[in-house]
Amino acid sequence: MTQGADLGLTDVGDWDLGVDQSPRRARPGGALKSLRPTSRHLGAVPFFGYIAIFLLWPTIIVIVGAFQNDSGQLTLANVTTVLGGSTYLQAFWASIRLSAETALAGGVLGALLAWAVAEGDADGVFRRQVVAMSGVLAQFGGVMLAFAFLATFGYAGVVTLALQRVAGVDPLASGGWIYSFTGLAVVYTFFQIPLMVLIFLPAVDGLQVQWREASDNLGGGSWAYWRYVAGPILLPSFVGGLLLLFVSAFSAYATAAALISQGSPIVPLQIRTFLQSEVVLGRANVGKALALGMVVVVAVVMTLYAWLQRRGAKWRA
Amino acid sequence: MALANTSMFAPYKSAEWDQIGAELKDPTGLWTSNYTGYMSIGYNADKVPGPTTMNDLLKSAYKGTVALNGDPTEASAGFNGVVMATIASGGTADDFAPGVDFFAKLNKVGNLLPVDPTPATIASGQTPIVIDWDYNNVAQTAALKGKVSWKVVVPANEVIAAYYNEVINKDAPHPAAARLWNEYVFSPDGQNIWLNGAARPVLIDVMTADGTIDKTALAALPVAEGTPVVLTQKQIEAGQTYLLANWSKAVQ
């Protein structure tokens, strides 16, 4: 279950405005200065090992495989198949659209919720509930989430049957929306909102009361405060959050796999076809070419993210 | 369907090998067809009227009821469902376009159900019609007896078969055991085991003629009228290519 949601959580720390992330400044005194760089980085070896095995190695397999044929010779055929096949380009477009739409919907709703939480009592029940719920629901992706929606809105879902029997309305009369692109968008937004709360809350918390007071003292109203103070400070965090949500939806597989059984409209499902089909054989490397395309899209998004993060870092204490 | 690895097979001809049709085996004995199902329409008789042909499924009575077992680019049952639709639409196995068009139409009129059918969806009534191998559908009839009236029809003159093959691994650690197994599965005893699972063994006609067939099991099979269509390797590959390029668009 590679819910991209994981990605968001590992990055939550980056958005915590209160934490100084520079190890050199964080450590008081000069005790570590005498150590040579090699031994200073020794503690990070397990981390780099982990990254090498679970991130770099699979990426290399995908990149190399994308340019090989079934018997291991170099070829461009896989890549040209993907670029020349309108089915695959459509799948990329659908994936990008789905990710962008759900990132925007989840991002806006999540940011509003985060703002509401930050405005409230710091130790209040509301805040604790929302943060705890977000922590759970942001990880509540994949097959469980798909099942929850099917059991509620599917053909034998509780709500569907209740509406049919009690109200005499058939919500699925015009087709099974939940099994289509619309259904995917609704279900994805469900895990995007809590993810945005987790990512964005530290940024909103970082808004100092003094800034508002200073703005008020200088005669600025609400509009001026949001337009010239809070808005510019929060914008990099907000857009960065959107990018993380985009990647989270772009890489999600299990939710879509559980919901959609025909036509493989998005890229992760197209890749599945090449890896596990009992009909189409010996073309796994076209799947790798599709995966390479996904790597490229994610690389572009993460570059934007890194750039935004540097901008946002300006305001950290 | 995997005849891509014949270099890893050892040729072998069992005692009954000569009685198997030439198009159902490799001439040197590298692979031999063993048994098949026929593509069928399973339906919940409590919920929908019984269809007799694939084209019946386009009627408005079947709105939101028709499920295909698996995506045709991934699953053999789905793939052969498209073959059945192709034959039913007057096409041949050389060109899958009529079959894909059939499902596009089925989707457009709102009859195609985008649910992957399982025993659970059949039992709960979510998939009132399932296009699948007849032995799978027959198994559901038995499993749901007394709960759901699950009936199976093999549409007349739209009969599709796709055989499972027997091969022997060239590097088998116990080469004699593999060959002995081959002798057993092609013997009347072995073939009748498939028949008892509602599959159709490759020697079904030979055994019916010489009386070694299990008559009770034979009588329990769904009635199938017409010559079964079996695709050649070339037709299968052409179909795969066509489906990869067109299926996704047809059902969206």
The model's confidence at residue A35, banded by pLDDT at 50, 70 and 90, is low
Rounded to 10°, the helix A181-205/A231-251 angle is 140
Confidence of residue A122 (pLDDT cuts 50, 70, 90): confident
| Residue of B73, B115, B116 lying closest to A280 (CB–CB) | B73
List, for residues A98-115, the tens digit of each pLDDT value.
Answer: 999 999 999 999 999 999
State whether residue A188 is helix, strand or coil: helix
Tens of pLDDT along B148-200? 999 999 999 999 999 999 999 999 888 899 999 999 999 999 999 999 999 99
Q: What is the arithmetic mean of pLDDT over A150-159?
A: 86
**What is the pLDDT, as a whole number, of residue A27?**
46
Does the pLDDT of residue A171 top 80, yes or no? no
Report whether pLDDT(A281) > 80. no
Per CB-CB distance under 8 Å, the chain B contacts of A90 are: 248-249
- Other CB atoms within 10 Å distance of the CB of residue B101: 16
Cα separation, B95 vs A84, whole angstroms: 22
Q: In chain A, which residue's Cα lies nearest the Cα of B106?
A: A175
* A-chain residues near B70 (CB < 8 A): 261
Instruction: State pLDDT tens for residues B92-129.
Output: 999 999 999 999 999 999 899 888 899 989 998 889 99
Partner-chain residue, chosen from A154, A263, A272, that has the shortest CB–CB distance to B248: A263
Percentage of chain B lying above the pLDDT 90 cut:
83
DSSP helix/strand/coil, B153? strand
- Asked whether residue B56 carries a pLDDT value surpassing 90, the answer given is yes
Q: What is the pLDDT of residue A175?
A: 67
Residue type, A287: G
Q: Which residue of B has its CA nearest to A179?
A: B114
Interface A-B: count of C-beta contacts within 8 A: 90
pLDDT at B74 over 70: yes
Chain B residues within 8 angstroms (CB to CB) of chain A: 1-2, 4, 64, 68, 70-76, 78-79, 110, 112-116, 124-126, 240, 243-252
CATH topology of domain B6-36+162-220: D-Maltodextrin-Binding Protein; domain 2 (3.40.190)
Q: Nearest 5 degrees, angle CA A161-CA A183-CA A240?
A: 140
Cα distance between residue B188 and residue B178, in whole Å: 18
**In this prediction, what percent of chain A has a pLDDT beyond 70?**
85
Give the SS3 label for residue A313: helix
Task: Check whether A143 has a pLDDT greater than 50.
Answer: yes
CB contact under 8 A, B110 and A175: yes
CB B222 within 8 A of CB B138: yes
DSSP B166: E
Query: How is chain A split into domains, by residue range?
Result: 5-23+88-313
Q: What is the mean pLDDT of residues A250-263?
A: 89
Phi/psi for A237 (5° steps) reads: -65, -40
pLDDT tens profile A173-230:
766 778 888 889 999 999 999 999 999 999 999 888 888 899 999 988 888 998 888 8
Distance CA(A223)–CA(A195), nearest Å, equals 28
User: Which segment of B5-9, B26-30, B36-40, B156-160 scores lowest on mean pLDDT?
Assistant: B5-9
CATH code reported for the domain at B39-160+227-250: 3.40.190.10
Nearest-CA distance A299 → chain B (Å): 27
Which CATH code fits A5-23+88-313? 1.10.3720.10
* B6-36+162-220 matches B39-160+227-250 in fold: yes
B244 burial level (CB within 10 Å; 0-12, 13-18, 19+): buried
Tell me the ipTM for this assembly. 0.81
pLDDT at residue B101, as a whole number: 96
**Domain coordinates of chain B in residue numbers?**
6-36+162-220, 39-160+227-250
Task: Please name the residue ranges forming H helices in A31-172.
Answer: 37-40, 45-51, 57-66, 77-84, 86-119, 125-137, 142-153, 158-162
Q: What is the pTM of this model?
A: 0.81
Q: In chain A, whose CA is at the least distance from the CA of B128?
A: A155
